[in-house]
Structure 1
């Protein structure tokens, strides 16, 4: 083939019906041997049973990128491990490959420069063999930094164990991978991931938890993502394992599961729960946790969460925990906490809401009908900017001392027993929602509107017939008071502004 070509794509027609000639296609590809200076090669929709012998020979010392795509009849890979300069290798939609092994490596020390390796959509791939000439060897991927295994539903065997340089590992839609037990299967081999920064595991049915030996090697892990692992019971076995995850910044676990917890016996969730956690870390401490969307949740207590180890915690969000009866203790000690959101905690009963730290900026309570009060020292939360109370029927008024002076956004919605007059809500707000479904709101004696238009940027009035009428554009007696506010909404649509 012509000398001087550095980048080459060989692509067959995608649709041949039943007229493909496997021998002819193999002969054509063998004839189209590129020049040894080739650096980047893609082969797509090739229909031969074998790849040509030239593909893996040592003479291609300049090849750094190789992609094999939709070669759906090829039954084996060439000896590609001998490509000494190869840095990126993508294998996708090779439907008839069953075993990847010695023919793939070609040598006991394959892929000396490989940094990215991806296997995708390999429906017949069953085994990744680590034998060379019938002898099991520890294949070293000394430079490999990113490995992806996705949509390989029949893959059962182990992954390579010597991945000391690996920074990102993604395992997605490989339901047969054997993760059972502490001392067998995939996790047994993956014990030397000391450079790993990101780990993504998705749709691995056999995964029930991450064993201690595996977790303890992840000393540099920053991002852990686990999704749709339906038999996931808990994340790790020991409470103290979090100390090994000193660099962890993001933890995202989403799954339709039988039950789940961060450790044995703690925070157990019932079927069809979705557990999502984001964690940010500073100086070795966890920094952000979200617990989101637990339909029919079985969690009853979060009191055992060791918040003393989470001193950089910034955000907590707990949603749809229908059986939750207690919150973590010591919330007021979390000096970096800026946001607390509770939604759909229908049996969480709090006579006195626990104190919050001065750092809190956002505080939302939604659909928590048994919470009877806000924190007593609410007016001393000098950083609080955003307060929302929605569908909290047991809250009747703000605590003594009123609202904090720095509050900017206030929404009280469908709190039918709220008796405090609107004029007592007002601080130098930038955003205010007045909802007539809050008890007493909008009654005749409460229809004074001493608003500071120079500060208020958004006003939403709903369910207050008399007040809405008085605010009508051009005709209402309150119109001169509100016409300078950039956005004023009347009725159910907060987007439709009359100003």
Structure 2
């Protein structure tokens, strides 16, 4: 495809070529004929070898008036190289390269346009990605890369200054974000006061990168980072050698990082932190000294951290905490001396050894509690709540879910006082068989599963049917009565 085509469409603004297996680009002698082109997207064109014929590249480097804004190369399996003159496409803002399996190297690219804002690379074996991501790319705001086995690091010196979003997925040889040797030199210059990490990165998402050992081997993440999501990076050991988190961080999610032992040495001065999620990190041991920041933290989720021995210090001081979830952490055997913050709205505890001390501390102290879900860890409980030892539930409760209480036999009469209760669920309580004489009239969702004795009594016209007949939705096992 060349001159004869573009001469017929002098005002062409968008060009899409898909599924043309035999098409090749033979060159365009009159480059002014494509000066109106804004977008180009060759796709599934297996015979495209290069975007520009070699004999014309020198001419194009001198002058290329094309106003191309978006360039997408997709499923061009024989594309071997990108044109060196890409940097002359002065209007280019977005480039996407996907499923170009024979693209050899990005290192040949002399430079990229100064206005480029977004780069997306998927399923390419090409080496030299770091040639695309460097500090001189002052307009680059988003860099996304996935399924690129050759990538060991993203940048050689430091991230582009205005990069705000960095997404990395399925890059199995990625070891760190910035080249180890160069970042060490940079840290020395930072310590000497001659340079600093000026990146404005805000969002960092890394998923399924099995060789990733640390986010940075030297220095710190930019203080501007607001969101960090790390998922399934089994060799990740630390976030940074200095043990600090970005001061602007608001959301931190870490999942399936089997070697990660800690998130930071201190976080109590991270006043922007609003949500922490740590899931399936079996080596995670301590929360940072000094506890968690009390200013804005509203959600804390901890799941499947087998070696975690204690909850953070000063839990009662987390005045903004609304949602607390602790699941499958058998190593937690002690309950905070001062208890939980009384303003918690939702509390979920599953297979943890803190149920008994939690009950003894007093659930009724959680005066704003709306959702309570407890699963396991209460093998000796025969009635709930245990009125005989003074346990009460907060009257604010709207959802109550009890699961896997192997010896639970009865629901206590004090439940009748929960005038806001709307959802009542019992799961896998094989001995449960007694309801009180009445249930709150506010209940609209009753779910009973794995409780054969109670299920039998709740069938239509059975013993407890008069008590529950006015409930809008009743589910017994897999059967829905209403």
Normalised-by-shorter TM-score class: 0.7 to 0.9
Report the Cα distance in structure 1 between the residues aligned to 2:29 and 2:279, rounded to whole angstroms: 49
SS of 2:40's equivalent in the other structure is: strand
Aligned residue among 474, 478, 486 for 2:472: 486
Cα separation, partners in 2 of 1:172 and 1:304, compared to 1, 3 Å = farther
Q: Is the 8 A contact 1:261 1:268 kept in 2?
A: no
Q: Which residue of 2 aligns with 1:230?
A: 210
Cα separation, partners in 2 of 1:173 and 1:469, compared to 1, 3 Å = closer
Aligned residue among 158, 162, 177 for 2:130: 158
Report the Cα distance in structure 2 between the residues aligned to 1:272 and 1:489, rounded to whole angstroms: 38
Q: Which residue of 2 aligns with 1:404?
A: 394
Q: How far apart are residue 293 of structure 1 and its match?
A: 3.1
Q: Which residue of 1 aligns with 2:18?
A: 44
Q: Which residue of 1 aligns with 2:267?
A: none
Q: Which residue of 2 aligns with 1:286?
A: 273
Q: Is the 8 A contact 2:271 2:295 kept in 1?
A: no
My pick for the range that moved more, 161-170 or 47-56, is 47-56
Superimposed CA distance per residue, residues 274-314 of structure 1 (whole angstroms, 9 cap, x where no aligned partner):
99x9xxxxx971222212234xx222222448523x73222
Q: How far apart are residue 167 of structure 1 and its match?
A: 2.2
Q: Is the 8 A contact 1:202 1:228 kept in 2?
A: yes
Q: Is the 8 A contact 2:40 2:71 kept in 1?
A: yes
Q: Is the 8 A contact 1:340 1:364 kept in 2?
A: yes
Q: How far apart are residue 497 of structure 1 and its match?
A: 2.4
What 5-or-longer segments of structure 1 have no aligned partner?
A: 1-25, 133-138, 180-185, 278-282
How is 1:426-437 mapped onto 2 (pairs within 5 angstroms)?
Answer: 426=416, 427-428=418-419, 429-434=421-426, 437=429
2:341 is equivalent to residue 373 of structure 1: no
Aligned residue among 85, 91, 109 for 1:113: 91
2:250 is equivalent to residue 261 of structure 1: no
SS of 2:166's equivalent in the other structure is: strand
Report the Cα distance in structure 2 between the residues aligned to 1:204 and 1:56, rounded to whole angstroms: 41
2:480 is equivalent to residue 497 of structure 1: yes
What 5-or-longer segments of structure 2 have no aligned partner?
A: 188-195, 244-252, 264-269
Q: Is the 8 A contact 1:113 1:143 kept in 2?
A: yes
Q: Is the 8 A contact 1:412 1:438 kept in 2?
A: no
Superimposed CA distance per residue, residues 446-476 of structure 1 (whole angstroms, 9 cap, x where no aligned partner):
54232122x1111223455554344321x12
Q: Which residue of 1 aligns with 2:152?
A: 178
My pick for the range that moved more, 387-396 or 258-267, is 258-267
Give the aligned length: 433
Q: Which residue of 1 aligns with 2:378?
A: 393
2:470 is equivalent to residue 476 of structure 1: no
Aligned residue among 49, 72, 77 for 1:75: 49
Q: Which residue of 2 aligns with 1:168?
A: 142
Q: Is the 8 A contact 1:343 1:367 kept in 2?
A: yes
Q: Is the 8 A contact 2:287 2:312 kept in 1?
A: yes
Q: How far apart are residue 88 of structure 1 and its match?
A: 0.9
SS of 2:32's equivalent in the other structure is: coil
2:302 is equivalent to residue 318 of structure 1: yes
2:118 is equivalent to residue 143 of structure 1: no
Report the Cα distance in structure 1 between the residues aligned to 2:167 and 2:457, rounded to whole angstroms: 56
Q: How far apart are residue 119 of structure 1 and its match?
A: 0.7
Superimposed CA distance per residue, residues 177-219 of structure 1 (whole angstroms, 9 cap, x where no aligned partner):
231xxxxxx322553232x332111122332334577994442
How is 1:51-62 mapped onto 2 (pairs within 5 angstroms)?
Answer: 51-54=25-28, 57-62=31-36
Report the Cα distance in structure 2 between the residues aligned to 1:130 and 1:271, rounded to whole angstroms: 36
Cα separation, partners in 2 of 1:305 and 1:265, compared to 1, 3 Å = farther
SS of 1:251's equivalent in the other structure is: strand
SS of 1:32's equivalent in the other structure is: helix
Cα separation, partners in 2 of 1:69 and 1:407, compared to 1, 3 Å = same
Q: Which residue of 1 aligns with 2:413?
A: 423
Q: How far apart are residue 431 of structure 1 and its match?
A: 0.9
Report the Cα distance in structure 2 between the residues aligned to 1:74 and 1:284, rounded to whole angstroms: 53
Superimposed CA distance per residue, residues 375-425 of structure 1 (whole angstroms, 9 cap, x where no aligned partner):
624312222111111122367466855111211111111123568853234
- After superposing on structure 2, the runs of 4+ consecutive aligned residues of structure 1 that deviate more than 6 Å are 212-215, 265-271
Q: How far apart are residue 64 of structure 1 and its match?
A: 0.6
Q: How far apart are residue 127 of structure 1 and its match?
A: 1.6
Aligned residue among 176, 200, 211 for 1:219: 200
Report the Cα distance in structure 2 between the residues aligned to 1:101 and 1:190, rounded to whole angstroms: 25
Q: Which residue of 2 aligns with 1:346?
A: 330
Report the Cα distance in structure 2 between the residues aligned to 1:349 and 1:411, rounded to whole angstroms: 22
Cα separation, partners in 2 of 1:302 and 1:111, compared to 1, 3 Å = same
Report the Cα distance in structure 2 between the residues aligned to 1:220 and 1:74, rounded to whole angstroms: 35
Aligned residue among 365, 374, 383 for 2:368: 383
Cα separation, partners in 2 of 1:447 and 1:335, compared to 1, 3 Å = closer
Superimposed CA distance per residue, residues 338-374 of structure 1 (whole angstroms, 9 cap, x where no aligned partner):
2111222122212557622233211111122465432
Cα separation, partners in 2 of 1:328 and 1:217, compared to 1, 3 Å = farther
